[in-house]
């Protein structure tokens, strides 16, 4: 397939890996120079990997996984509480007659910034030592959050002095250039923190974790770690906003204490993540070295990643991404982010307009997250019984089937039945969604060489941001609740398009 998009010789790489496995397997009989099969003594240790090497444990020590989970939990908890709190702060700061304006512009700007920057962040991760890259991103992320909360605190003080709760967009407060500068600063720092957060995820999940698994030649450890880290993600996604809600409510109608609390909390998280990453790094010596090898014909591409500005880094990272066949599966995963049929802000606003009470919304959101956890369990079982390609195939087909129920809800006349179908389809689709996400993520972990993981992971995250940005654009174009049916149509078309892309990948595999 040469250098055509999504056409790198991944099958050749896999074939060479299989040949290495066979040539090193003590149970595989290969002829010697005389043509007779070789035999091995019963005591001969396996030559492949390190599983049979008495000098090393059969699997990574449990403490490594516990440290990874500690750092990941701290990171996800801080990220989810911040995501929830910043929207409340922007809503409180924004004009009373356009309450959704600032959250919408903030979301769009964050997605656009991620799209334009994450390729360069991934290239930086590839060409830097693992510990220095992670620490730099960690400091960058927490500085951005603390700066953003300080700006929010300042605007809340200025807004109070300008006249209290009701301030329209044409009021003197919003016409003041200083207010505009601070709002721009909040958008920039907020986007910066999101880019850094995604960069740290690329560093740990796409590079550190698969490298630890590779060091011990333990595929099962990688699967189990991926599943449990995703379960941590889902748990934080449900519980952290509740915690943030209590923090916000602590100050009553005054949100300034929430700014201080969020800034202080994010500062403390850097200590935990710094400590856990340092311990893991010291326990796995392999993390201190990076591969120097390159395939024939890759020298120019690797030179392009050595640093040449944000734009050139992004272009080089995109070219690297397109070299791999598994990029098609990654593109299918990214296409799912255009889907508003999830418990995101747009659908929450719609079901509220349809008359669903807040307690019911909270209950169904919890059910949706619980079903998502079942998806991680289903993935673990499926990946032990079949290959990752087939696991991804049934997962995306299952998601499409359940979202078909949500799509059909717009043709049902009874209001209660229609709403129930919409919500039930979304909840049921979580099994397929999270199983598919895990399958594609692990394929990329296992099939992308060490020297390209940062670039490919950065582009993958950027593509997800690009499609997520489209969902915000759709919400602005079809802003009336009565027009939500157009969002359903667009979302389900995107779902089917993602399934078609994955079908092409599955056929090539």
pLDDT digits (tens, 9 = 90+) for 83-137: 878 888 887 888 876 666 787 788 888 888 888 888 888 888 888 889 999 999 9
Tell me which residue has tokens 């740990």: 204
Q: Which parts of the chain register pLDDT below 50?
A: 1-3, 8-56, 292-299, 301-305
Tokens of 366: 């919890």
Residue 81 CA, chain-centre distance (Å), reads 16
| 3-state SS assignment for residue 309 | coil
What's the CA dihedral at 291, 297, 298, 304 to 10 degrees?
140
Which residue is it, tokens 């992971």? 457
In sequence order, which residues have a C-beta less than 8 Å from that of residue 318 and are 6 or more positions away?
A: 119, 459
User: Which neighbouring-strand residues pair with 31?
Assistant: 37
Is the domain defined by 317-509 classed in CATH 1.20.1250.20?
A: yes
What's the CA gap between 75 and 57, in Å, rounded? 29
Of residues 453, 509, 465, 210, the one with CA closest to residue 320: 453
Residue whose token pair is 């209660």 = 416
SS3 for 247-282 is HHHHCCCCCHHHHHHHHHHHHHHHHHHHHHHHHHHH
3-state class of 34 per DSSP? coil
Q: What span, in angstroms and rounded, lies between the C-alpha atoms of 457 and 4? A: 20
> Which residue from 27, 245, 207, 224 is spatially nearest to 124, judged by alpha carbons?
207
Same-fold call for 60-289 versus 317-509: yes
The conformation of residue 100, written as its DSSP 8-state character, comes to: T
Pairwise CA distance, residues 410 & 432, whole Å: 22
User: What share of residues in the chain are helix, strand, coil (percent, to 5)?
Assistant: 80, 0, 20
Q: Specify whether the CB–CB gap between 247 and 81 falls below 8 A.
A: yes
Write the CB contacts of 141 (distance below 8 Å, at least 6 apart in sequence): 192, 193, 196, 197, 199, 200
Distances (CA, A) of 208 to 276, 277, 281, 451: 13, 10, 9, 12
In 3D space, the residue among 241, 276, 267 whose CA is nearest the CA of residue 145 turns out to be 267
How far apart are alpha carbons 418 and 97 in whole angstroms? 31
End-to-end CA distance of the chain, in Å? Answer: 13
pLDDT value at residue 19: 43
CB neighbour list of residue 70: distance below 8 Å, 6 or more residues apart? 272, 276
Q: Which residues contact 41 (CB under 8 A, 6 or more apart)?
A: none
Token digits of residue 449 = 């060489």
Cβ-contact 338, 471 below 8 angstroms = yes
| Burial (CB count <10 Å: 0-12, 13-18, 19+), residue 122 | buried
Question: Alpha-carbon torsion 367, 371, 374, 376, what sign?
Answer: negative
List the one residue out of 468, 397, 440 whose CA is nearest residue 230.
440
Cβ–Cβ < 8 Å for 294, 302: yes
Task: Write down the domain spans for the chain.
Answer: 60-289, 317-509
Q: Which fold has domain 60-289?
A: Growth Hormone; Chain: A; (1.20.1250)
The beta strand positions in 46-165, using DSSP E, are: none
Q: Which two tokens stand for residue 483?
A: 């027009």
Q: Per-residue pLDDT tens for 137-173?
A: 999 999 999 999 999 999 999 888 877 666 777 777 7
Torsion of CA 229, 234, 240, 241, to 10 degrees: 150
C-alpha neighbours within 13 Å on the C-beta side of residue 434: 28
Task: Extract the tokens encoding 227.
Answer: 């599943």
Nearest to 199 by CA among 102, 92, 117: 117
CB 42 within 8 A of CB 27: no
**Secondary structure class of 308 (helix, strand, coil):** coil
Write down the residue that tokens 């951005």 correspond to. 144
For residue 434 the two structure tokens come to 């999270």
How confident is the model at residue 49, as a pLDDT? 40
> Hunting for tokens 């929450």 — which residue is that?
348
Radius of gyration, CA atoms only, the chain:
25
């Amino acid at each position: 397939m040469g250098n055509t998009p999504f056409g790198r010789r991944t099958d050749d790489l896999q074939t060479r890996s299989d040949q290495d496995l066979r040539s090193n397997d003590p149970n595989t009989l290969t002829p010697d120079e005389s043509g007779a099969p070789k035999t091995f003594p019963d005591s001969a240790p396996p030559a492949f990997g390190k599983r049979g090497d008495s000098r090393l444990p059969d699997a990574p020590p449990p403490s490594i996984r516990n440290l990874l989970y500690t750092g990941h939990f701290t990171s996800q908890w801080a990220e989810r509480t911040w995501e929830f709190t910043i929207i409340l702060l922007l809503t409180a700061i924004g004009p009373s007659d356009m309450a959704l304006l600032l959250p919408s512009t903030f979301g769009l700007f964050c997605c656009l910034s991620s799209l334009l920057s994450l390729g360069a962040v991934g290239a930086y991760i590839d060409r830097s030592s693992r510990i220095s890259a992670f620490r730099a991103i960690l400091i960058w992320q927490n500085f951005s959050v603390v700066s953003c909360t300080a700006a929010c605190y300042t605007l809340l003080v200025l807004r109070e002095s300008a006249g209290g709760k009701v301030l329209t967009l044409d009021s003197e407060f919003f016409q003041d250039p200083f207010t505009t500068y601070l709002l721009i600063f909040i958008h920039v720092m907020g986007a910066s923190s999101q880019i850094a957060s995604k960069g740290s995820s690329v560093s740990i999940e796409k590079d550190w974790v698969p490298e630890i698994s590779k060091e011990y030649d333990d595929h099962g450890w990688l699967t189990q770690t991926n599943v449990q880290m995703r379960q941590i993600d889902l748990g934080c996604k449900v519980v952290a906003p509740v915690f943030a809600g209590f923090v916000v409510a602590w100050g009553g109608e005054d949100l300034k204490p929430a700014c201080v609390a969020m800034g202080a909390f994010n500062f403390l998280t850097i200590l935990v993540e710094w400590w856990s990453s340092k311990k893991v790094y010291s326990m796995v010596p392999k993390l201190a070295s990076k591969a120097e090898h390159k395939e024939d014909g890759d020298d120019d591409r690797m030179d392009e990643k050595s640093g040449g500005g944000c734009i050139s880094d992004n272009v080089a990272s995109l070219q690297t991404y397109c070299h791999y066949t598994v990029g098609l599966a990654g593109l299918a995963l990214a296409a799912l982010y255009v889907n508003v049929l999830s418990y995101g802000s747009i659908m929450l606003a719609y079901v509220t307009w349809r008359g669903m009470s807040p307690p019911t919304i909270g209950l169904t959101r919890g059910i949706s997250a619980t079903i998502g956890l079942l998806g991680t369990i289903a993935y673990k079982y499926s990946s032990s019984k079949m290959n990752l390609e087939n696991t991804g195939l049934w997962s995306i087909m299952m998601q499409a089937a359940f979202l078909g129920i949500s799509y059909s809800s717009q043709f049902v006349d009874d209001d209660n039945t229609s709403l129930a179908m919409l919500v039930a389809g979304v909840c049921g689709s979580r099994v397929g969604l999270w199983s598919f996400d895990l399958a594609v993520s692990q394929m990329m972990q296992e099939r992308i060489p060490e020297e390209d993981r940062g670039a490919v992971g950065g582009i993958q995250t950027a593509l997800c941001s690009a499609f997520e940005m489209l969902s915000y654009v759709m919400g602005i174009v079809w802003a009336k609740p009565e027009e939500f049916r157009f969002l359903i149509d667009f979302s389900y078309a995107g779902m089917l398009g993602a399934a078609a892309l994955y079908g092409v990948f599955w056929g090539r595999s």
